Amino acid sequence: MDIKSTTPLGVYDKSEEEEKKIILREYRALLRALKQNIKKGDKSLLRHAFEMAVEAHKTTRRKSGEPYILHPLAVARIVVEEIGLGVTSAICALLHDTVEDTEITLEDIAREFNNNVSKIIDGLTKISNVVDIRGNSTVQAENFRKILLTLAEDPRVILIKLADRLHNMRTLDSMNREKQLKIASETTYIYSPLAHRLGLYEIKSEMEDLALKFTQPDIYTDITRGLKETRRERTRYINEFIKPLKEELSHLGFDFEIYGRPKAIHSIWNKMRNKHVTFEEVYDIFAIRIILKSPPEREKEDCWKVYSIITNFYHPNPERLRDWISVPKGNGYEALHTTVMGPGGRWVEVQIRTARMNEIAEKGLAAHWKYKEGAPSAQESKLDSFLEHLREVLASPNTDTVDFIQDFKLDLFTEEIYVYTPKGDMRVLPKGATALDFAFDIHSQLGTRCIGAKVNHKLVPLSHKINSGDQIEVITSSKQHPSEDWLQFVVTAKAKSGVKAYLKEDKRKTAESGKNMLKRRLEKMNTTLSQHNINELVQHYKKSSPLDLYYAIAVSNVDLGELKNFTLYGDKLQHQSKEIKNDTKELVDEDALKIKHGKGVELVIFGERSDKVLYKLAQCCQPIPGDDVFGFVTSGEGLKIHRTDCPNAAKLLANYGHRIVKTKWAKNKEISFLTGVRITGMDDVGVIQKITNIISGELKLNMRSLSIDSKDGIFEGTIMVFVHDREELNMFCNKLGALDGITKIERIDSPEG
The DSSP code for 564 is G
End-to-end CA distance of the chain: 35
Query: Any contact of residue 154 with Mn ion (CB under 5 A)?
Result: no
Q: Interface with Mn ion by CB under 5 A: which range of 159-167, 223-231, 257-265, 367-375?
A: 159-167
Nearer to Mn ion, 97 or 548 (CB): 97
Alpha-carbon distance of 336 to 304, in angstroms, equals 8
Nearer to Mn ion, 97 or 728 (CB): 97
- Region 656-675 residues binding Mn ion, contact defined as CB under 5 A: none
Q: What character string, x for contact with Mn ion (CB under 5 A) and - otherwise, covers 232-271?
A: ----------------------------------------
Q: In this structure, are residues 748 and 714 in contact, taking their beta carbons and an 8 Å threshold? A: no
Catalytic residue of the set 101, 112, 248, 586: 101
- Region 49-108 residues binding Mn ion, contact defined as CB under 5 A: 97
Q: In this structure, are residues 35 and 86 in contact, taking their beta carbons and an 8 Å threshold? A: no
Alpha-carbon distance of 589 to 119, in angstroms, equals 52
Nearer to Mn ion, 70 or 679 (CB): 70
Alpha-carbon distance of 283 to 280, in angstroms, equals 8
Least separation in angstroms between residue 596's CB and Mn ion is 44
Count of other CB atoms within 10 angstroms of residue 690: 17
Nearer to Mn ion, 3 or 451 (CB): 3
Active site residue 101: yes
Do β-strands 615-617 and 639-643 pair in parallel, antiparallel, or remain unpaired? parallel
Helix axes 115-131 and 137-153, enclosed angle (nearest 10): 160
Helix (H) or strand (E) run with residue 364 in it: none
- Which among 287, 288, 285 is positioned nearest to 224, based on CA atoms? 285
Least separation in angstroms between residue 92's CB and Mn ion is 12
Nearer to Mn ion, 101 or 506 (CB): 101
Q: How many residues bind Mn ion (CB under 5 A)?
A: 2
Write the DSSP string, 601-616: PPP-EE-TT--B--EE
Nearer to Mn ion, 166 or 265 (CB): 166
Name the closest residue to Mn ion (Cβ). Answer: 164
Alpha-carbon distance of 643 to 666, in angstroms, equals 15
Nearer to Mn ion, 85 or 554 (CB): 85
Alpha-carbon distance of 111 to 491, in angstroms, equals 47
What are the C-alpha distances in Å from 424 to residues 229, 293, 476, 647?
Answer: 53, 34, 20, 41
Q: Binding residue for Mn ion (CB under 5 A) from 82, 142, 154, 164? A: 164
For 679, what's the count of Cα atoms within 13 Å in the CB-facing half-sphere?
27
Alpha-carbon distance of 186 to 176, in angstroms, equals 16
Give exposure, 443-458, as e/b (b: 16+ Cβ within 10 Å): ebebbbbbebbebeee
Q: Interface with Mn ion by CB under 5 A: which range of 161-169, 303-311, 376-384, 437-445?
A: 161-169
The DSSP code for 319 is G
Give exposure, 563-589, as e/b (b: 16+ Cβ within 10 Å): beebeeeeeebeeeeeeeeeeeeebbe
Q: Interface with Mn ion by CB under 5 A: which range of 37-45, 163-171, 255-263, 361-369?
A: 163-171
Alpha-carbon distance of 575 to 585, in angstroms, equals 17
Nearer to Mn ion, 74 or 393 (CB): 74
Q: In this structure, are residues 351 and 284 in contact, taking their beta carbons and an 8 Å threshold? A: no
Nearer to Mn ion, 164 or 334 (CB): 164
CA Rg, the chain, in Å? 29
Nearer to Mn ion, 53 or 691 (CB): 53
What number of H helices and E strands is found in the chain?
A: 29, 23
Q: Is the dihedral of CA 484, 485, 490, 491 positive or negative?
A: positive
For 509, what's the count of Cα atoms within 13 Å in the CB-facing half-sphere?
5
Alpha-carbon distance of 336 to 333, in angstroms, equals 10
Active site residue 484: no
Catalytic residue of the set 2, 19, 81, 100: 100
Alpha-carbon distance of 362 to 202, in angstroms, equals 5
- Which among 94, 102, 162 is positioned nearest to 127, based on CA atoms? 162
Least separation in angstroms between residue 164's CB and Mn ion is 4
What are the C-alpha distances in Å from 212 to residues 206, 264, 348?
Answer: 10, 11, 26
Nearer to Mn ion, 122 or 323 (CB): 122
Least separation in angstroms between residue 62's CB and Mn ion is 10
- Which among 200, 287, 165 is positioned nearest to 238, based on CA atoms? 287
Helix axes 265-274 and 217-229, enclosed angle (nearest 10): 100
Least separation in angstroms between residue 585's CB and Mn ion is 38
Nearer to Mn ion, 124 or 617 (CB): 124
Residues of this chain that bind Mn ion (CB under 5 A) = 97, 164
The residues assigned a catalytic role are: 100-101
